[in-house]
Structure 1
Amino acid sequence: MWKNSPLRVIWWQRPIWAWLLLVILAACGEDPQPEQPPQPEVVVPTFQADSAYAFVAQQVAFGPRVPNSGGHRACGDWLMATFARYGARVQAQESVVRAFDGTALNMRNIIASFQPEKKRRILLTAHWDTRPFADEDSSRQQEPIPGANDGGSGVGVLLEVARQLGQQAPQVGVDIILWDAEDYGSSEHENSYCLGSQYWSRQPHVPGYMPMYAINLDMVGAEGAYFTREGISEQYARSVLDKVWYTARSLGYDRFFRSHSSEGIIDDHTYMNLVARIPTIDIIDRPGGNRFFPHWHTHRDDLSTISRETLGAVGQTLLTVVYQER
């Protein structure tokens, strides 16, 4: 009988064993897949806040760095020599620009390139000049300010970044530009500020220059600095802003890098976004969201305003962003 025949049992069992045998034979015949090499661990250098502080102090020691002054020329020469000592290819972009009051300013943008042969690049910037007036002070308003925070702090951070780049090369190329003639402006003349970055944005040091993104530093050294998500940065470079803020907060710097937004301001990043079309964010101290730090454009913007902790938070964030790029 078919229903109870042993033949029926064998008939149903044979395809199962045959299938298993085929699977085993096929598996044995496959070439072993090579193991993927593990990705190298990202080693991020440790930012030395004491070193950055010393760089700020050295700038202040030159006196006010107002274009056309002796202190400005001496500091500019020192900045170029320092970048060269750390292995950068250094060049100066020089021109004469006209200030809002008609003064002809001898401008010098300082450009330091690390691994200039690499195509994938990040641009880091800050202004190195200081304000020729203390218009927010109650006295001596026509005298220049020390500019420890507004001028010195961003440069101090970037010099320490440059020192680290010279010791350990990241996977991407890095350019550092120090803007000149940023602070020789008037609130009554909107485009009278940021003359160096305006000039470069129309005439970059390399024709067609286009990094992946840029980060501008301004007033990044004061005690208890308060960095908000600035409006122009959010509008034109939100993904960069998200990357930098996420990195900072993952490092434990959330009390400096705040999550709320502030209105857009005119700063060097404005022209980098609107004219050069480079997605650029501005890390700038905005206590309460829409003011500047308490000693802004006064004679009290001296070395006593500078906090190593703040410099360290900004610098370590920058190094982490740069060295995590692949």
Structure 2
Amino acid sequence: MVLRCLCCVLFSVLLGQAVYAQPSGPAITADSSRLRRHLLALINTPQPRNYQHPASLGQAADYIRRALQAAGARTTDQPYEVQGETYRNLIGSFGPETGPRLVIGAHYDVCGEQPGADDNGTGVAALLELARLLGQQPSLPYRIELVAYTLEEPPFFRTRQMGSYVHAQALHAAGVPVRGMVALEMLGYYEDRKHSQRYPFGPLKFIFGSRGNYVTVAQKFGNGRFGRQFARHYKATAALPVKRFKAPAWLPGIDFSDHLNYWQFGFSAVLLTDTAFYRNQHYHQPTDTLDRLDMHRLGLAVDAVLATVLRL
């Protein structure tokens, strides 16, 4: 059974790589200097922005709210209580007030005593720069909801205390029609040298290559129409290499972010990532710092998100 599933993974990857050629991307619109400023604001809190330091986590949340408001988003907080402490998701909406919505989210907390520049400062910085770009659009055909989640990291990962679980559950309970969800998880670390990329299944290196110079759109089998559309359009519009990866939900890493909670409620969701610890050896370490990141390629990743959501 395991061998059959792994063969399915390989077939899915080969099909995705063969059908969609790598085209030229759109002109750069994301501002790398703004991305850097967002990252500096997130990593320069008095203490690491984790559940053990609520004041620093709150400072990051306040910054995110102000940035969403400055971009022209309709903003709301989604507070909830865990172990006697109140934590907040920050939500910024664009487009029509009603109707189906697309959710794009990134968690702003870190694991332990580390700055979390890539994990997940880059995801949040990308979310905030995307907000600025969406705010410049004359109109949007559907509602886009940008969400900064709290409590994604251990000890809350895979629990109902995750901010993304709280958000997904609320959408489901309210019967909100959701086109799909995109999790932005670590988008700023790139390596052009050989053997800089690792995989959960060794033979994948013969398909994807050994250089960690790309962004991955990852999803599970049976993820629905939205997942297929997003992956196809993102690859077609990105100005940096993009790998499309579809696998069983049990494959290590395929559900290691906030998208997993949308799967639990039957929503189609994808993970957009630089592959995290399969590439970035500074994952969950004090060395996950801003100087190791590539702002230019982070900006290219944001540009492709914008182009994709405008085409869906």
Tell me the TM-score normalised to structure 1 length: 0.71
1:282 paired residue number: 271
1:195 aligns with 2:162: yes
1:295 aligns with 2:264: no
After TM superposition, give the deviation of residue 118 of structure 1 in Å: 4.2
State the secondary structure of the residue aligned to 1:283.
strand
User: Which has the larger displacement, 194-203 or 155-164?
Assistant: 194-203
Amino acid at match of 1:78: Y
Q: Distance in 1 between matches of 2:129 and 2:304?
A: 13
Q: How does 1:95-134 map to 2 (within 5 A)?
A: 95-98=80-83, 104-132=84-112
Amino acid at match of 2:278: R
1:241 paired residue number: 227
Using a 3 Å threshold, how does the CA distance of structure 1 residues 164 and 300 change in structure 2: closer, same or farther? Answer: same
> After superposition, what is the alpha-carbon deviation per residue over 1:262-291, rounded to whole angstroms, capped at 9, x for unaligned?
63334211111112x22111112327xx82
CA contact (8 A) 1:193 1:267 kept: no
Q: Distance in 2 between matches of 1:148 and 1:105?
A: 25
Using a 3 Å threshold, how does the CA distance of structure 1 residues 193 and 121 change in structure 2: closer, same or farther? Answer: closer
After TM superposition, give the deviation of residue 180 of structure 1 in Å: 0.4
CA contact (8 A) 1:109 1:177 kept: yes
After TM superposition, give the deviation of residue 185 of structure 1 in Å: 2.2
Using a 3 Å threshold, how does the CA distance of structure 1 residues 45 and 219 change in structure 2: closer, same or farther? Answer: closer
Q: Distance in 2 between matches of 1:158 and 1:260?
A: 22
Gaps of at least 5 residues in structure 2 are 1-25, 192-212
Using a 3 Å threshold, how does the CA distance of structure 1 residues 260 and 78 change in structure 2: closer, same or farther? Answer: closer
> After superposition, what is the alpha-carbon deviation per residue over 1:157-207, rounded to whole angstroms, capped at 9, x for unaligned?
110111111122332221001110001327xxx724871112222234982
User: Which has the larger displacement, 57-66 or 190-199?
Assistant: 190-199
Q: Distance in 1 between matches of 2:238 and 2:170?
A: 39
CA contact (8 A) 2:100 2:177 kept: no
Using a 3 Å threshold, how does the CA distance of structure 1 residues 194 and 148 change in structure 2: closer, same or farther? Answer: farther
CA contact (8 A) 1:229 1:259 kept: yes
Q: Who wins on radius of gyration, i.e. which is larger? A: 1
State the secondary structure of the residue aligned to 2:304.
helix
After TM superposition, give the deviation of residue 105 of structure 1 in Å: 4.5
> After superposition, what is the alpha-carbon deviation per residue over 1:57-86, rounded to whole angstroms, capped at 9, x for unaligned?
221122521134322111111211221122
State the secondary structure of the residue aligned to 2:43.
helix
Same amino acid, percent of matched pairs: 22
1:173 aligns with 2:143: yes
Aligned residue among 154, 157, 177 for 2:126: 157
1:319 paired residue number: 306
2:260 paired residue number: 270
State the secondary structure of the residue aligned to 1:309.
helix
State the secondary structure of the residue aligned to 1:64.
coil
Q: Distance in 1 between matches of 2:172 and 2:96?
A: 12
CA contact (8 A) 1:52 1:160 kept: yes
CA contact (8 A) 2:96 2:141 kept: no
State the secondary structure of the residue aligned to 1:191.
coil
1:148 paired residue number: 117
1:8 paired residue number: none
Using a 3 Å threshold, how does the CA distance of structure 1 residues 252 and 158 change in structure 2: closer, same or farther? Answer: closer
After TM superposition, give the deviation of residue 252 of structure 1 in Å: 4.9
- The one of the two structures with greater contact order (alpha-carbon pairs below 8 A, sep at least 6) is 2
Q: How many residues are matched?
A: 258
After TM superposition, give the deviation of residue 121 of structure 1 in Å: 2.2
